[in-house]
Structure 1
Amino acid sequence: MAVTGGGGTGRDPDVREERADRKAAAGYGLRGERRVVTAPLPRQRRHETAHYRCLGVGVGPANLSLAALLHDKNEVSNLFLDREERFGWHDGQQIPGATLQVSLLKDLVTLSEPTNRFSFLSYLHDQGRIYHFINAQFDAVPRQEFRNYLEWASKTNTNVRFGEEVQEVDFDGTSFVVRTNKRTATADNVVVGIGTRPWVPEPARGKLGGSQFHVSDFVSRDRDFAGKRVAVVGGGQSGAEVFLDLISRPIEQLPRRVIWISRRHNYFPIDDTPFTNEYFVPSYSDYFFDLDRPARVALNAQNVLTSDGISESTLREIYQRCYARRFVDGADDLFALLPNRTVTGVRAGHDAWDLTVAGNDDPGLIEHVESDFVVWATGYRPATADFLSPLEAKLAREGEEYNVDKDFAIRWDGPRDRCVFLQNGVRDQRGLADPNLSLVAWRSQRIMDRLLGVHSNEQLEPFIDWAGKHTTELLDRT
């Protein structure tokens, strides 16, 4: 850990590291051309400290965004810790060919600070392939590349540390006391960004293992699906990608049968039209936040396909692949599509899993699906911040979430200038965009503004007048 300081001496180990980095960055390729080598950014802090203005817990996209925005803000000493030894972002389901469902501009920083050095375009430029990326004419950013971008941002930000687990956060009346597996530090503010955890329905609990697992573990193990029966449960993008991957394998690697089960009435596309995307702008998030709880719950249920549907390109590819397998390759029994059904039971048979599947429209319709593997593509839920247990009695809740104010600070029984901010944990209060990449940069900007005591320039009002503001102004003029 280090704090902002002046120039170091030749004995400063950080300075020696910088010199070594510069030497490494000056290398040349085998044919004499200049190599593109990423050198770490100059170290912002040079001396150890036990106190920070802002200490982040967890290093996923949310806190990486805040760390990126704060990196050059010397007036806010900051450190971000993650218990994992290295960066990861959905590594277990990085299926080849998978792409983002959002614009490349919705990266860590661009929508709040377009010139920030941690943007996706800066990453491409730093890696020496920005022209290649343009010429590739991707319809969407490959998910693996975006994951690599996030890793690059974590490695080149000197205020990010891995391999350090925050075990407890308490308050001593003046500062938050943060105890990790390596040290004890204090902080004026803590930012929780620990992400989500895999979720499976009740029938699957206690049964997960080598042949029955969550989609987050799909590519992390070397499983042989050839000649096997595979059930995929879940009708969102993840389930679609797994189904497509399985039915697209070479003939010798094809499963015997792939059954795709979904509670939804059909395999519905994501609603990605211009006016729908007005749900994913800051002004709508603020409008949603001001609604009463019943209205917010209803809107999230009504608009779920604006974030949780399947990309149209994926659906088209699936349909075309089904056509080719059945009518060109003659694989009539390769797949079964079972939407509008709910898995109500899972039983271990002699050498397979027996899934009890009930029809949603006709409860009397009961089917039994036998499969050798079961993949649960059933989503995620916010991870539990157990390290906040010493503060639990002081922190306000709303349903299953911590109750936050407009700046994402948890309402609590403590000083207003000492805050625990919460990233990606208030979907019921901020809407479907909260766990989405769309507002990551804006949310971090809102938190940073609170830390700096400033109010950044907001973008122009959206075309849609959600709260009747424009109508009221017109009436006032008449």
Structure 2
Amino acid sequence: MENEQVLDVFGVGIGPFNLGLAALLDQTKCKSLFFDLKSQFDWHPGMLLEGTTLQVPFLADLVTMVDPTSPYTYLNYLHEHRRLYHFYFYEKFHIPRTEYNHYCQWVAGQLPTLQFGAEVENIEQSANGRYVVTVFEREQNRRSTYEANHIVLGVGTKPYVPADFRPILGERIFHSGDYLNRKEEVLNAGSVTVIGSGQSAAEIFYDLLKGQQEQGYELSWFTRSKGFYPMEYSKLGLEHFSPDYTRYFYQLPKEKKKAVLQKQDLLYKGISFQTIADIYDLLYERTVGGVKPKVHLQALTELVSLEAAGGAFDLLLHQTEQNKEKQVKSEVVILATGYRPAIPSCLDGIRDQLIWDEEGQLVIEEHYRVKQQKEGEHHLFVQNGELHTHGVGAPDLGLGAQRNAAIVNQLIGEERYRTPAYNVFQQFGL
């Protein structure tokens, strides 16, 4: 062990949210370091498809919504890359996903507080209440310890695959987050099936549809959802992704929160109107003259079981309204089954000091602090792990800067960044 330091803030994970926190802290005197196992910043690299955009406006960058004068805004990124006029003539609020990733990499390259290729192995609490963190730095092949007053957990979510399907994951059956890494092999298959109902499933299906005529594979898309429905994107509907709604949702009783979340899928899990239109328009063109492409789309259909069968897979599907089953074969299966909050093993050392609910989820206070058995001066904060307590805005990029502002203000003990109480036109409660 070597390189002991005392920090104000220790960040676990460097996704967009902790990267935004590091950018805001860079404008303060707070002493911080952030660590990530990845070798560099890379935001969902398996889904950086050409033509795909962020589902939020460019103002939902790392800092703008709380500090538009920051040197780390997206507009300053464009200025530094001599792209302001290009963007001006582009005339779109929703930017290419590849450019958002490049923007984040540009910010990451300027922050000396970030360390990639480093695994946070263990967190413990010393007698004085501070956190003692063990980190293994791969390139240096060494372990270091750090002492910190506060921890910010920003590992976010991880790809989710139902337990029954995990044993057969491999090169020809994989989660949608790995799509681009496997695309070459997918294109050489004779049949491809996409499972899921959200934006990722739709983007992959459309990408494969565009290449189908050249490659000749059969293409199927199944979802257990009621239909291939669009995400709610009306202006008043978008106000659910505001600090006002987050505050309203947080005050609801626990059981009411669960019931509300179950009815809000289309606020954040549907498909964009544009992607649906692109798919439909291409299918329309492909069927001119009565041509029947080798394409199958079916909702209300759940994947029950999946078994390897020679060079393909047998999929048992259940149509929920008809209560009927059928079996199909596919050489490749892509599981667009979403993401779930991740509780990293490095928390094991302080697990007993944290408060968990009956479903094994962290109990998180309104201002993003994890409740502890003994409350003191040293805190654990969470980024994008509070869907169950704070609602649908937890994973939304547009609320990341607001959450970080709330965290920074607590870390430094003053209101460095303003967080206005009223931001929307509607009122959510009495």
The answer (yes or no) to whether the contact 2:186–2:192 under 8 Å persists in 1 is no
Distance 1:183 1:338, change over 3 A: same
- Matched with 1:253 is 215
The answer (yes or no) to whether the contact 1:203–1:343 under 8 Å persists in 2 is no
3-state SS of 1:306 partner? helix
Supply the distance in 2 between the matched residues of 1:409 and 1:436 (Cα, whole angstroms): 18
Supply the distance in 1 between the matched residues of 2:275 and 2:171 (Cα, whole angstroms): 27
Distance 1:106 1:408, change over 3 A: same
- Matched with 1:129 is 83
Distance 1:293 1:460, change over 3 A: closer
User: Is the counterpart of residue 371 in structure 1 residue 326 in structure 2?
Assistant: no
**Structure 1 position 224, deviation (Å):** 4.4
| Per-residue deviation, residues 85-135 of structure 1 (Å, max 9, x unmatched) | 111110012111111111111111111111111111111111111111221
- Matched with 1:62 is 17
| Per-residue deviation, residues 210-257 of structure 1 (Å, max 9, x unmatched) | 1100001100133142461100000100000000000101632342x1
Distance 1:428 1:60, change over 3 A: same
- Matched with 1:447 is 407
Supply the distance in 2 between the matched residues of 1:362 and 1:128 (Cα, whole angstroms): 57
The answer (yes or no) to whether the contact 1:53–1:187 under 8 Å persists in 2 is yes
User: Is the counterpart of residue 86 in structure 1 residue 40 in structure 2?
Assistant: yes
The answer (yes or no) to whether the contact 1:56–1:190 under 8 Å persists in 2 is yes
**Structure 1 position 467, deviation (Å):** 2.5
- Residue identity over aligned pairs, in percent, reads 31
The residue type paired with residue 222 of structure 2 is I
- Matched with 2:311 is 351
Distance 1:324 1:227, change over 3 A: farther
The answer (yes or no) to whether the contact 1:88–1:151 under 8 Å persists in 2 is yes
- Matched with 2:139 is none
Provide the TM-score with structure 2 as the length reference.
0.94
Q: Which moved more, 1:155-164 or 1:231-240?
A: 155-164
Supply the distance in 1 between the matched residues of 2:360 and 2:85 (Cα, whole angstroms): 46
3-state SS of 1:294 partner? helix
Q: Which moved more, 1:203-212 or 1:228-237?
A: 203-212
The answer (yes or no) to whether the contact 1:100–1:140 under 8 Å persists in 2 is yes
The residue type paired with residue 245 of structure 1 is D
Q: How does 1:290-439 map to 2 (within 5 A)?
A: 290-327=251-288, 332-363=292-323, 365-398=324-357, 399-439=359-399
- Matched with 2:60 is 106
| Per-residue deviation, residues 176-219 of structure 1 (Å, max 9, x unmatched) | 00110131010000100012111112342211101100001100
Distance 1:227 1:214, change over 3 A: closer
**Structure 1 position 139, deviation (Å):** 5.5
3-state SS of 2:148 partner? strand
Higher RCO (Cα < 8 Å, 6 or more apart)? 2
**Structure 1 position 295, deviation (Å):** 1.0
The residue type paired with residue 17 of structure 2 is A
**Structure 1 position 466, deviation (Å):** 1.7
Supply the distance in 2 between the matched residues of 1:252 and 1:467 (Cα, whole angstroms): 54
Supply the distance in 1 between the matched residues of 2:86 and 2:293 (Cα, whole angstroms): 41
Q: How does 1:193-204 map to 2 (within 5 A)?
A: 193-204=154-165
- Matched with 1:72 is 27
The answer (yes or no) to whether the contact 1:246–1:254 under 8 Å persists in 2 is no
Supply the distance in 1 between the matched residues of 2:186 and 2:318 (Cα, whole angstroms): 29
Measured on the aligned residues, the alpha-carbon RMSD in Å equals: 1.5
Provide the TM-score with structure 1 as the length reference.
0.85
Supply the distance in 2 between the matched residues of 1:421 and 1:458 (Cα, whole angstroms): 18
3-state SS of 1:259 partner? strand
The answer (yes or no) to whether the contact 1:226–1:252 under 8 Å persists in 2 is no
Which structure 1 residue ranges, 5 or more long, are not aligned? 1-47, 469-478
User: Is the counterpart of residue 223 in structure 1 residue 178 in structure 2?
Assistant: no
Bigger-Rg structure (1/2): 1
- Matched with 1:185 is 146
Q: How does 1:267-278 map to 2 (within 5 A)?
A: 267-278=228-239
Supply the distance in 2 between the matched residues of 1:236 and 1:305 (Cα, whole angstroms): 9
Supply the distance in 2 between the matched residues of 1:331 and 1:413 (Cα, whole angstroms): 66
